[in-house]
Structure formats: C-alpha cells, structure tokens
Chains A and B, each alone.
Chain A
C-alpha cells in the first residue's frame, strides 16, 4: 500500500544551527501538507504544496516539493527553541483526496 516515509526520525541541534527533514512517498502525490506538533500538543497545519518543484517560505522555514511530486523537504534556518516539536508530512491517502496519510514525523530538539 501507499507509504509516506520521513527521515530522520529524531534530530538534535544547537540553537542557531540549521535543520532539514525529508519526506518520501511511494506514489506520486497531487499535493503534500506539513504539520507541526509541539510536545504534549496537537498537530497544527503549516503549509500545503501543490505544484511540481514548488518552493514556499514562511520566515525561517522553507518548504520544497520535488519535481516528480514524490518527495518534499522542510528546512529551518537558524533554529530557535520555539522550533522544538515533531514535524509531519502528509499526502492524500486516496485518489479522491478524502483522507490524508501521515509520515511518522521528525522530532526536533534544540539546545540553547
């Protein structure tokens, strides 16, 4: 069945270092979404990418959607302690797009 894989599972950085998480799908995706979950919290939507090769920025966060629409990445520049949490990518679970399939997430910890 369809799979969405994320690497790494965990990443620890010093404050100010950069961080990247990668998402790979076993199938071509019509779009991909990214969510962030703070420790003890619930997932919160960050962004959706739709076009092949699309790049979107939100302040220090840069999101990319691969040319083949099977992979994506999230890059954080100069991490801060507020970036701590688990970052999930998610793609449509079926052709109708009525549900999402989530990756297992990358948990980021930041030490100051």
Chain B
C-alpha cells in the first residue's frame, strides 16, 4: 500500500463547479496534512494545511480531514480555469521510519474548462 494515495484523474470540471480531490494515507498516527498545487512547468506551492478533524476553509478552498478514516480532501468552489493544475496531497509521517518525512501523493490533475 502506498503511503499517500490520490486519484490520479484527470478530473475535469466546468467553470463555476465544485472540484473535489481526495487523498488517503497509511500512517495512522500522522498529524499534519497539506495540499500543494503545481502548475505545469512550475514548482509545487502550499495552498492548504490541516491538522484537526473537520473542515478548514480559506477563500474558495476547503480542506477536510477524517483521521479515523485516514482521509483528506480538498474542495474548490466556483472553480476557475486558473485552478487547472496538479494538486498534491502531502502527509508528515509521525511513526517509525516515516517520522518527520513529508510524503507526497501522485497528484490529481485538475482541468477546469470554460
């Protein structure tokens, strides 16, 4: 089982719709979770961090965390063509050999079409 798994997509949504990106992780004791966005030809940049169960909202972005289910998601409301990018889920390991390592999922390619 991969440490961090994402649906690779691609995910295509119309402009104005809600894009839903999902991620599961294997380290049951992980406490820190992140979403990075990577535009084509560019480096990843942090867009959201979440540490507690529940929802965290930042503008059009909402991160959701369920530690019991080992599940993290990112919702993008009112999707815009400028949101078209690869979204990377990242988890900081908290146990064993994964301690302190920031592990990324494969990424989900999102395309928002006008």
A and B are interacting partners: no
